[in-house]
Structure 1
Amino acid sequence: MKVLIACEYSGRVRDAWLKLGHQAISCDLLPTETNGPHYLGDVQDLLTQEWDVIIAHPPCTRLANSGVRWLHQRDLWDELDEACEFFNLFLDHPCSRVVVENPIPHKYAVERLSRNYDQLIQPWQFGHGETKATCLWLKGLPPLMPTEIVSGREQRIHRASPGPERWKERSRTFTGIASAMAEQWSRCCLQEGAA
C-alpha cells in the first residue's frame, strides 16, 4: 500500500509501515530524524497524488487545550483559523482512509474543524507507562485497539522542563502507538482488499 505520513519528522509511524513492507513516506518542513523515505517540504505538494492511507499529525500549537489562553492574550485568532484550515485539508481529503492525530482540541478549534475526533488514546494502552491524551479523527479505518496496557501514569512529556527542544519531544509519536497504527490498519486494509 502507498501510505503518506504527513507532518512527521521523527519517522516513527513511517518506519512502522515500512517494516510491514508498505510503500510509506513521511513529509515535514523539518528533515527526518531517521533514514528513510522523506519529503522535505510542504505536504500540499503531495496531497494531489493517490494514497491508500494518509496519517496526518498537523501542528497543534493553536488547536490544543493547552494553548487556548494565548488566543485572547496575544490575539492569535488568525493563526487559529489558518491552523484549522490546514487541519481540514486532511479531514476533507478525498482519500478513503485518513487519520488525523492531535491532542484534545479547545472549543474554538472544535467549532472550526470539519468534525470532532472519533477516539482518544493514551500511551499506557500501547506499552508506555505515560499519559498523553491523543485524539484520532478516523475516516475509513477502525479505532485502534490497545495492544499492551501497562501500569504507570507518568506525565513525563507534560512535565518536561521548558527548552528549545521540548516541542520536538512532545510531537514524537510513541513507538507502541506507531506500531499499532501500522499493524492494525494495514491488516484492516488488506482484509478489505481480499473481500
Structure 2
Amino acid sequence: MKILVACEGSQAVTIELRRLGHEAYSCDIIPCSGGHPEWHIMQNVLPLLNGNCSFKTMDGTEHSIETRWDMIIAFPPCTKTSNAGARHLWKGGKLNIERYYDGLCGKALFMAIWAADCDRVVIENPTPSRVFEYPEPSQAIQPYEYGHPFTKKTLLWERGVPLLMPTNIVMPERTWCPSGSYSNKHGEKHRGMFTTDRAKNRAKTFPGVAKAMAEQWAGDIREGSQCKK
C-alpha cells in the first residue's frame, strides 16, 4: 500500500510499515529523526492529503502518487489543544484568546486530515480540551498494552480500519509524561519519566504501538509472508 504518515518526525510508524513492504512516507515541517531522509517529506502536509500529488523526499528524490493514498496515519500537533495544557486556556477566569486561537488552528489541521479523500484514516492525539469540541474518538490505548510499562492515555480516531488490539499487556510502573501541575503534586512513581520537555516526549510513538499499527492496519506484504492483506 501507499501510506502517508502525517506529522511524524520520528518515523517510528513509517519504519515499521517499510519493514512490512509498504511504500510509506513520513511528512513533517521539520527534518526527520528516524534516520531515513529518503522516506521523509519535509513540507506542509495539506497539499498531499488527497493524493494525486508530487513531492520530494529529503534526499532530493522526486516521487508521484497518481491516485489516492491507500491509508493515512496522522499525529497532528496537540500542544495547544491537549487537555494536559488546559490550565493555559484561562487567565484570571477568562478565556485566553490567543491560546484559544492557536488551539482552533490545531483543530483545523486535525479536521482537514480527517476529511481527506482516503478510505483508511487514523489520527492519534491525547485527550483534547472540551472547549475545542473534537469528534468522539474510536478508542483509547495505553503503552502498557503494547509491552511498555508506562501509562500515557492516547486516543485514536479510526476510519476504515479495525480497532487496534493489545499485543503485550504488562504491568505499568510509572506515568510516562504527566502534566506539569500533576507531576508537582504527586509522589515519585506518578511524576513520570519526563517532567521537562513534556510536549516533545509526549509526542513520541512507542515502538510497540508503532509495530502494532503497521501489522494490524497494513499487514505484511513482503515476498513469502503468511500475513498478506
TM-score by length of 1: 0.89
CA distance in structure 2 between the aligned counterparts of 1:187 and 1:22, rounded to whole angstroms: 9
Gaps of 5+ in 2: 52-67, 179-191, 222-227
What is the alpha-carbon distance in structure 1 between the residues aligned to residue 89 and residue 20 of structure 2? 42
Deviations 1:136-176 (A, max 9, x none): 0000011101000011231132231324xx43222110000
How many pairs were matched up? 186
Who is 1:138 aligned against? Answer: 158
Aligned 8 A contact 1:11 1:33 in 2? yes
Q: Secondary structure at the match of 2:69?
A: coil
* 1:33-52 paired onto structure 2 within 5 Å: 33-36=33-36, 37-49=39-51, 50-52=68-70
Query: For residue 120 of structure 2, what is the aligned residue in structure 1?
Result: 97
* Higher share of residues assigned helix: 1
The within-5 A match list for 1:170-181 is 170-181=202-213
The C-alpha deviation readout for 1:26-59, integer Å capped at 9, x for no partner, is 0011111122200011011311312001001001
2:175 aligned with 1:155, yes or no?
Answer: yes
Report the identity percentage.
Answer: 40
Rg (Cα) greater in structure? 2
Q: Distance in 2 between matches of 1:30 and 1:153?
A: 33
| 1:141/1:188 contact within 8 Å kept | no
The one of 109, 129, 132 aligned to 1:106: 129
Q: 1:1-12 alignment to 2 at 5 Å?
A: 1-12=1-12
Letter matched to residue 178 of structure 1: A
Other structure's SS at 1:15 match: helix
Q: Deviations over 1:94-123 (max 9, x none)?
A: 2010000000112112x2x3x210100000
- The 1-side partners of 2:10 and 2:220 are apart by 25
- Normalised by the length of structure 2, the TM-score is 0.77
SS in 1 for 2:72: strand
Q: CA deviation at 1:188?
A: 10
Conservation of the 8 A alpha-carbon contact between 1:53 and 1:98: yes
Equivalent residues in 2 for 1:178-189, closer than 5 Å: 178-187=210-219
Q: How does 1:72-87 map to 2 (within 5 A)?
A: 72-73=90-91, 74-75=96-97, 76-87=99-110
Unaligned runs of 5+ in 1: none
Between stretches 144-153 and 124-133, larger displacement belongs to: 144-153
Distance 2:107 2:136 in 1: 12
> Within 2, Cα distance between the matches of 1:176 and 1:51?
24
Please name the residue that 1:66 is paired with.
Answer: 84
Q: Which structure features the higher share of strand residues?
A: 2
- Equivalents in 2 of 1:148, 1:17: separation in Å? 19
Instruction: Verify the 8 A CA contact 2:75 2:124 in the aligned structure 1.
Output: yes
Structure 1 runs of 4+ off > 3 angstroms? none
Partner amino acid, structure 2, of 1:54: I
Task: Give RMSD over aligned pairs.
Answer: 1.8
TM-superposed CA distance for 1:70, in Å, is 1.1
* Partner SS state of residue 49, structure 2: coil
